[in-house]
Amino acid sequence: MKKNSGFIYLQLAEKIQHMISEGVYTVGDKLPSVRSLHQEHGISISTALQVYTHLEKKGWVASREKSGYFVHYSKKLRPELPPVTDPLPTPAKVQINEKLAMFRKTSQSHKTISLIGASPDTSLLPSVKLKKALQLAARELDTSYIPYGDIRGHEPFRKHIARHCLNWGRAVSPSDIIVTNGAIEAASLCLRAVAKAGDTIAIESPTFFGLLLAIESLGMKALEIPTDPVTGVSLDKLEDAFKHKKVQACLFVSNYNNPLGSCMPDNSKEQLAQLLQKYQVPLIEDDVYGDLHFAPERPRTVKSYDEEGLVLYCSSFSKSIAAGLRVGWVIGGRYRDKIAQLKFMTSGSTGLLPQLVLNKFLDQQRLDLHLKSLRQALSMQTMQITKAIQEYFPGDTQLTRPNGGISLWVVLPAGINTWQLHEEAVEQGITFTPGSLFSSQDRYQNCIRLTNANPWNDDQDWAIQTLGRLIGKQLR
């Protein structure tokens, strides 16, 4: 009976949420009373209360003492989407290392409420089950973990990765996979495999500063391609760069780009794979966020359409299981052997102990159940921070609407200096990421990246409210 009641309350909550989205109920409207739901839908009082408790947690409704429940949020009133970005159409030398070092020093010098979040909060991750996996792995260990391991990684673990790859539409052999020290090492190895110092790499604009650092450290240049906040990189502009031989390779986050949260539609991914084949340009595809989709179906990858081994696929379990284990992997296509050679020259084999722990975890647990719970939490937290931005930031703020991942991109009114804003926020005990860190050009000065990675609470709400106040102070 409990299972049936739970199903009923979720069904009814979704109906009310849909009515709010469609404008049947607008912000401030009073909703039917708990007793009315009980009578009209033939459900118990406790189930009717569950309906509103669920909607209240998601931020759609708010209760007022002795008055009932009222609409608190509407997607129709969300901030506008940012426009397609418009970077300069020329390659640029990447120089963000010093700026990033200054940002990290400032952010870490105070005890702050973080609006950054490089991975989901530990409360959303399977820490207890990982501890059990660690204990089981330790109990079964002999001396096999002491010598250097296979350059490609622990074979049973690579088998787990190969099975996981079926989720994005590709049958992969364990022999195709090389385990790395996180996804950044995977991307760096791929860059070295397909390009050399002085070469130009096509990137999304904006893109993750960790990828920019990898390009900078290798002495390469970056060509920023206009990027839509919903559908990702402009294929027309990219093909123009291919035609004029402006780039030697591409480096894209096709699913839930950091920081935009954009996700290329599957047909665009297929079209991109065809362009790569036509012009024989390799793509390094960073897919660390692909498992964090909010919709029922996982988006495919460009790699799933790759017929000639031109897509070098990188990912990790850092965003879904444990960032601290530092385990990623690469499927190198036609560059596999070269990547293995570079891996041997750079860092040798990846540490075996983290692989054994993850392998034991994947042996013992259903990853799909954990991911389902994690995605639900991230989706709810996205709505909660979006609602707070809508409430506290200036009315002409623009905001992305990601359907997965952990990043939100906020475009503030022109004239806002987000480095100054960051300094003022840190003094208040708040930290976020200024937008200029996500570009090789002098751009995005009035933009910030926020995160949905942290469970919503009073501190998070206060931090967004305080940011809104500081932004308003700059506008005056």
Among candidates 108, 110, 111, 92, which has minimal Cα distance to 100?
Answer: 108
Burial of 359 by CB count in 10 Å (0-12 exposed, 13-18 middle, 19+ buried)?
Answer: buried
* CATH superfamily of domain region 96-102+105-120+376-475: Aspartate Aminotransferase, domain 1 (3.90.1150.10)
φ/ψ of 203, rounded to 5, equals -130, 160
Spell out the residues 6+ positions from residue 364 whose beta carbon is closer than 8 angstroms to its own.
129, 132, 133, 136
pLDDT of residue 109: 62
Mean pLDDT comparison of 14-23, 68-77, 189-198, 344-353, highest-scoring range: 189-198
* Architecture category of domain 2-76 in CATH: Orthogonal Bundle (1.10)
CA atoms within 13 A on the CB side of 141: 19
What is the pairing mode between strands 221-228 and 92-93? antiparallel
The predicted structure's pLDDT at residue 1: 33
Which region among 18-22, 139-143, 225-229 has the lowest average model confidence (pLDDT)?
A: 139-143
- The pLDDT assigned to 76 comes to 66
Residue 451's pLDDT is 95
Instruction: Name the β-bridge partners of 283.
Output: 250, 311
Q: Are 336 and 193 in contact (CB under 8 A)?
A: no
112: nearest Cα among 449, 433, 452: 433
Per DSSP, 234 falls in state: -
Using pLDDT thresholds of 50, 70 and 90, give the confidence band for residue 2.
very low
- Enter the pTM of the model: 0.86
Instruction: Determine what percent of the chain is predicted with pLDDT higher than 70.
Output: 97
Instruction: Please check whether residue 311 is in contact with residue 236, taking contact to mean a CB–CB distance below 8 angstroms.
Output: no
- Main-chain phi, psi angles of 43, to 5 degrees: -115, 165
- Evaluate the CA torsion angle 164, 185, 418, 114 in order and state its sign: positive
Same fold, 96-102+105-120+376-475 and 128-367: no
- 207 or 54, greater pLDDT: 207
Q: b or e along 129-168 (b: 16 or more beta carbons within 10 Å of the residue's beta carbon)?
A: ebeebbebbeeeeeeeeeeebebbbbeebbebbbebbebb
The answer to whether the CB of 438 falls within 8 A of the CB of 208 is yes
186 has a pLDDT exceeding 90? yes
What confidence tens digit (pLDDT) does each residue in 385-421 have?
A: 998 999 899 999 999 999 999 999 999 999 999 999 9
Chain centre distance of CA 214 = 19
Over 70: is that where the pLDDT of 5 sits? no
pLDDT at 183: 95
Preceding amide of 120 cis, omega within 30: no
Q: Which of 86-90, 167-171, 470-474 has the lowest mean pLDDT?
A: 167-171
Other beta carbons less than 10 A from residue 413's beta carbon:
16
- 94-118 pLDDT tens trace: 999 999 998 888 777 667 899 997 8
Do 434 and 422 touch, CB atoms closer than 8 A?
A: yes
Domains of the chain by residue range: 2-76, 96-102+105-120+376-475, 128-367
Does the domain at residues 128-367 carry the CATH identifier 3.40.50.1360? Answer: no
Q: Are 85 and 227 in contact (CB under 8 A)?
A: yes
As a whole number, the mean pLDDT across the chain is 91
Q: How far apart are CA 9 and CA 18, in angstroms?
A: 14
